[in-house]
Every structure is written in structure tokens, then in C-alpha cells.
Amino acid sequence: MKPGNYVPFVSFSIAVFDALAEMGWARFTGDLSAISNTTVESFPLSAWRSLGIPFLPAKKKAHPEDLTDRLDRLMGKFKISLSRFPNHDELQALVSGLAGISMQKCDWAGIRMDGVQPFVLEGTVREGYIVNPLVPSPCGRSSFS
């Protein structure tokens, strides 16, 4: 069971996926040849773990040094150029979005899919993949701006 504060977050996420589906965006099925107009689920906690970086504490528990440390660790693994220091939400979005950037570049070595193909049960979509970033190999260091 998830903490009570997850209910609004999860409900909002489901509503966004449903709204995009109504506009013709397909849920990601794991088919790497069909990613155009596809919604992909990401999750900061899962992304931090995938990269081997300690996750960012919750916003109310995070200290400025936590943000600095996590950004420094990300910048040590990826060539990232930012115009300013990100706030908590922006850093969470950044780590989650790294997988999407790899997908857009067809850099399949830059992602890991966790979960199972989405399916419909009793009229609702269940499960699905969470797509996580992977640390680039030293020989082919990714660059994201």
C-alpha cells in the first residue's frame, strides 16, 4: 500500500494518460519501432535507482545540499547543460526525462524498461512499462542539453 499522499499523484498521472489516449496517443507497449505519439511512463525514484544514484528525498525533507549533490552526480554521468540551478521538481523531472531523450534519439542502450506490457482489465488499462535511463557507456557518453 502506498502512502496517502500518492493517491492524488497517481490519480493525476492516470488522468493525463487517459486524456492523451483520447487525443490519439498510444501507451508505450515496449515496441521500440513504434514510439511516435506514444506516452511513456517514468518515475523519479525508479530513475535514480536505475542510475545508481541515491534518490532525492521528498521536497519537504530535501536540503539544498541534497539537490546540489544529486545534480553533481547526474552531471558526472551525463553531459548536461543548464541555464540555472533546478528546483526540486525540475531535478525530479530532469532525471525522469533522461530516458525519454534516449528514446527520441533511438539510443536503446540508454534505457531500461521495467514492468509488463499494458493490458485492459474490467475496462481500465493496467500495468505498463516504466522506462528508466541508464548510465551511458564511457565510450559513447550521451549529451543532453
Q: Is residue 17 part of a domain?
A: no
In this structure, is residue 39 part of a structural domain? yes
CB atoms within 10 A of CB 46: 21
Alpha-carbon gap, residue 80 to 75, rounded angstroms: 6
Asked if residue 98 belongs to a domain, the reply is yes
pLDDT of residue 45: 93
Angle between helix 88-104 and helix 44-51 axes, rounded to 10 deg: 70
**CA atoms of 74 and 10, how far apart (whole Å):** 26
**21 inside domain:** no
What is residue 3's predicted lDDT score, i.e. its pLDDT? 64
Q: What pLDDT does 86 receive? A: 97
Q: Which domain holds residue 80?
A: 26-144
In a domain, 3, yes or no: no
End-to-end CA, the chain: 37
Per-residue pLDDT of the chain (145 residues; tens, 9 = 90+): 556 677 887 788 888 888 998 999 988 888 888 778 888 888 899 999 999 999 999 999 999 999 999 999 999 999 899 999 999 999 999 999 999 899 888 888 999 998 888 888 888 777 788 899 999 876 654 444 3
Q: So what's the pLDDT on residue 30? A: 84
| Phi, psi for 51 (deg, rounded to 5) | -85, -5
Q: How high is the pLDDT of residue 72?
A: 97
What beta strand segments (E) does the chain contain? 26-27, 38-39, 79-80, 111-121, 124-133, 143-144
- In a domain, residue 13? The reply is no
Interacting residues of 2 by C-beta distance below 8 A, sequence separation 6+: 10
Asked whether residue 11 is assigned to any structural domain, the reply reads no
In a domain, 7, yes or no: no
Total structural domains within the chain: 1
